[in-house]
Amino acid sequence: MGKSITDKEQQVVYMKQRLNMFLEVLDSIEPETAELEDIDRLIAMVDELDGKMQQFKNRPEQEK
């Protein structure tokens, strides 16, 4: 496991990176040929983003 991200700026960078990954996956899906598994994966990614956001909201910021 990696080190916990407690710095707010690092948390924002992490969330931006994850959101960009989600957008790349979303852009790569062809609507005409998308399968249920593709939609399920997108939903799982959104759930993961939401879960991480909740973790960050509840995590105390690291003292500098």
CA dist., res. 51 & res. 49, Å (int): 5
Report phi then psi at 59, rounded to 5: -95, 130
pLDDT category of residue 54 using cuts at 50, 70 and 90: very high
What amino acid is encoded at 46 in this protein?
V
Alpha-carbon torsion (22, 23, 27, 31), positive or negative: positive
Q: What is the pLDDT of residue 26?
A: 94
CA dist., res. 11 & res. 4, Å (int): 10
Q: What is the pLDDT of residue 62?
A: 59
Q: Which of residues 22 and 63 earns the better pLDDT score?
A: 22
Q: What is the pLDDT of residue 21?
A: 96
